[in-house]
Structure formats: C-alpha cells, structure tokens
Amino acid sequence: MSENVRPRPNPGIMDIAAYVPGKEGAPGVAKVYKLSSNETPLGASPKARAAAQAVLERAEIYPDGSSTKLREAIGAAHGLNAANIICTNGSDEAIALLAQAYIGPGDEGIFTEHGFLVYRIDIQAVGGTPVAVPETDERADVDAILAAVTERTKVVFLANPNNPTGTYIPVDEVRRLHAGLPKHVLLVLDAAYAEYVRRNDYEAGIELVSANENVVMTRTFSKIHGLAGLRIGWVYGPAHVIDALNRVRGPFNVNAMAIAAGTAAIGDRAHVEKAVAYNDEWLDWLTREVTALGLRVTPSVGNFLLIHFDGSGKTGEEADAFLTSKGYVLRRVTGYGFPNALRMTIGPEEANRGVVSALREMLGK
C-alpha cells in the first residue's frame, strides 16, 4: 500500500513514548487517596481561589497576552525584573518552548537518567537527540553531565530538586556544572520544587541566571501554591532568551483565571509557609516510619518520597496493587528506571498514616 494515503507525522514523532500521568483512582474502593501527582494536601490559597472565581464574571474577555500583573507579582516576590520573566501554561510548556527555540534536528539535549520524562519527549519532538546521563546514588552527577557534552549539545536540563527521586545537588555543584559548559550551551534549571527546600547549600538558580547569558530557571505554581489545575509556570532568564520564547509561545498561553489566581497566590506568604511546615513534618515522619519497616527511602527534599521494595519480598507492581486495593494510589515509576519503587506524595494525615499501616500489613510486620 502506498505511504501517501494519509498524512504522516514528522520523522521521529511516532518513536516518542507518550507521557503517562499517575493513576487517578482505585475502582471498587470506597475511599481513595490520590498520592500519585505531587499535589499539595493544603490546596490553594483562599485568596487565589477568590481571585479565580472573580474572573468568571468576565469570562468572555481575552486574558492579558503578556501576563503583566502575574509577571510583576512574581518579580516583586523574588526581587526580579518582570521584563526577564515569561509566564507559561505550566512549566511543561516552558520546557517545550525552550526545546523548540534552541534544539533542532541533529542537536543534542542532555538530562539525567532519572530526570523528568518530559525532557526526552520535548527533545525528540523537535528532532533532537536525547542524551540520558547516569546518576550517582540517585543524584545528578556533574562530571558525568560534562563528559556527555559534545559539539552538538545545545541544552542541558537539570531538575533540582529532581522528580521522582527528591534529591538535589548543592549550589557549588550547579555552579561547577555551569562553569564547565561551553558558552553557547543553555543550562535549564528546573526548580519546580524549590519552595520546599530548606537547605543552606541550595539555590533555585536566580543568582546564576542574573549573572550569565546562558542560564534560565523554570518554576511552577502547581506544587507549593496548589494551582496544578490552572497550569501556571514561569521562566526567569536573560533578555535574549525571553525574547526568543515570546516569539514562539501562543498569544494567550496563560488563561485569565490563572493570571488572577497566580497573582494572589504568590502574595500569600502565610499560606506558602504553612505548606512548607506541613511538608517538613510529614516528610520526616514518613521517611522514619517507612525506613523502620525495612524499606529504603531515597532522601528527599521535595513534597514526595521514593520508596524502594527491593529485598522486601514484594515487587513494585505487587506493592502498587496492594496499596491501591486499600485506597492509596501511589505513582509507578518504571518509566523513570525504578521498576521496584513507588513515589508517594505527602498527603493528608489520614492518608500518610494509612499508607504506613498498609505497608506494615503487606510486609507482615
């Protein structure tokens, strides 16, 4: 049969493994706790919810195509020039736009082996070659990344902290990575979980971006701010990068409700601090309790933890099935290279205690 009987996607598109999100529910279970998508159990700020609701009164009006109020609010919160910020439909769009603007056929994009799956997808989507670099102890390895750089490398994506491991590398290592890159290579610091990190040796990337022409930082409102459903991301970068991204993004890529809610959310510091305190308490508790059951937990600074079942007598698949039957939906991470692990989002107290109880039952402890 002729190959011209229907439209065909560009070369390489059908080689992409589509992104599969975490499960939404557990059929047949009366009460379900969704702990598969790193959503905050505290929800959005009441101020953000009120701001979004007010927008519905004028839903027929197009949003501000430049997200001016939101960029100004972000700038005020972080001490940044709003002109160096672009807002996007989640940080996923920011990553896609960076790949679209700076990677083409024959170019290479680097990321670490357990990094966000979207990096590979976006590199392949623009005809580039994805280069996955080994990690050391489930943590980005700067020397391995630098060793992978070739004359074809255009972008290095570094999730810091990383998902699904929850690990991070200190600012000195990030600076060493940047210093070792050629000036034409763009370093993308994906700091989606930055607000949760309270370590003296961590920086999200603002200082590095401000001082250089080849570094950008991506952030999101989906995690600490509880606005995953409205899809708000942003990029802080040099003027020339922001200019390039503005030329390829959609004209109204951030909706009016998102602009209003995001503007209110980033100004509600009390809600953010409450979310951080809650996460610190339960991340520590869960890590201790799960470890006490004889399971290995990757040290995390995010709002989730990676639980390993190697040596427990149960596979990741079996553990997932058992927990799901009890109404606790965690995230399978086989696609990230962890077939015998599950990622658990820090959830409500009842869910956190319930998962530990279910694991204890499953393991016969």
The CATH number of residue 236's host domain is 3.40.640.10
Q: Are residues 191 and 239 in the same domain?
A: yes
Residues 289 and 186 in one domain: no
The answer as to whether 8 is a domain residue is no
Determine the pLDDT at residue 9.
85
Together in a domain, 212 and 287: no
3-state SS assignment for residue 151: coil
> Among 208, 232, 267, which residue terminates a domain?
267
Res 237 pLDDT > 90:
yes
Residue 1 belongs to some domain of the structure? no
Per DSSP, helices labelled H in 111-193 are 117-125, 142-148, 171-180
Computed over every residue of the chain, the mean pLDDT equals 96
pLDDT-based confidence at residue 271 (cuts at 50, 70, 90)? very high
- Residue 150 domain-assigned (yes or no): yes
Q: What is the pLDDT of residues 180-221, one digit of tens each?
A: 999 999 999 999 999 999 999 999 999 999 999 999 999 999
Task: Answer yes or no: do 219 and 139 share one domain.
Answer: yes
In a domain, 328, yes or no: yes
Q: Is residue 238 part of a domain?
A: yes
Overall domain count for the chain: 2
| Same domain assignment for residues 358 and 214 | no
Same domain, 53 and 86: yes
User: Which amino acid makes up residue 278?
Assistant: Y
What does the pLDDT read at residue 11?
84
Residue 280 confidence class, pLDDT cut points 50, 70, 90: very high
Contacts for 151 with CB less than 8 Å, ≥ 6 apart = none
Is 313 part of a structural domain of the chain? yes
* Domain span including residue 321: 22-43+270-363
Percent of the chain surpassing pLDDT 90 = 92
Query: Pairing state of beta strands 85-88 and 33-34?
Result: unpaired
Contact 278, 87 (CB under 8 A): no
- On whether both 349 and 251 belong to a single domain, the answer is no
Task: Name the pLDDT band for 1 (thresholds 50, 70, 90).
Answer: very low
Task: Give the per-residue pLDDT at 196.
Answer: 98
pLDDT at 2: 57
Residue 365: closest CA among 289, 313, 293: 293
Confidence of residue 3 (pLDDT cuts 50, 70, 90): low
Coil/strand/helix, residue 33:
strand
Q: Which tokens go with 350?
A: 């009842």
Single out the residue in 267, 291, 310 at which a domain terminates.
267
Domain of residue 287, CATH code = 3.90.1150.10
Examine the fold and report which residue of 242, 267, 292 is the final residue of a domain before the chain moves on.
267
Distance CA 54, CA 26 (A): 34
Pairing of strands 338-345, 331-333: antiparallel
Residues 67, 32 share a domain = no
Name every residue whose Cβ is closer than 8 Å to that of residue 269 and which is 6 or more positions away in sequence: none
What's the mean pLDDT in 279-306?
98
Q: Strand 331-333: give its sheet, edge to edge.
A: 296-298, 304-308, 338-345, 331-333
Give whole-number Cα distances, 146 to 104, 207, 220, 343, in Å. Answer: 21, 21, 27, 29
Note whether 88 and 52 are same-domain residues. yes
| Whole-prediction pTM | 0.94
Residue 168 is assigned to a structural domain of this protein: yes
* E-strand stretches of the chain: 33-34, 85-88, 108-112, 129-133, 153-159, 186-190, 215-220, 233-236, 296-298, 304-308, 328-329, 331-333, 338-345
- What is the rounded CA–CA span in Å between residue 227 and residue 264? 11
Residue 2 domain flag: no
Model confidence at 330: pLDDT above 50: yes
Bond before 21 cis per omega within 30 degrees: no
Other Cβ atoms closer than 10 A to 329: 25
C-alpha distance from residue 164 to each of 90, 297, 338 (Å): 18, 12, 9
Say yes or no: 123 and 57 in one domain.
Answer: yes
Q: Which residues face 111 on adjacent strands?
A: 132
Are residues 349 and 244 located together in one domain of the fold? no
Residues near 189 by beta carbon (within 8 Å), at least 6 away in sequence:
158, 160, 174, 204, 205, 208, 209, 215, 216, 217, 218
| 68 and 189 assigned to the same domain | yes
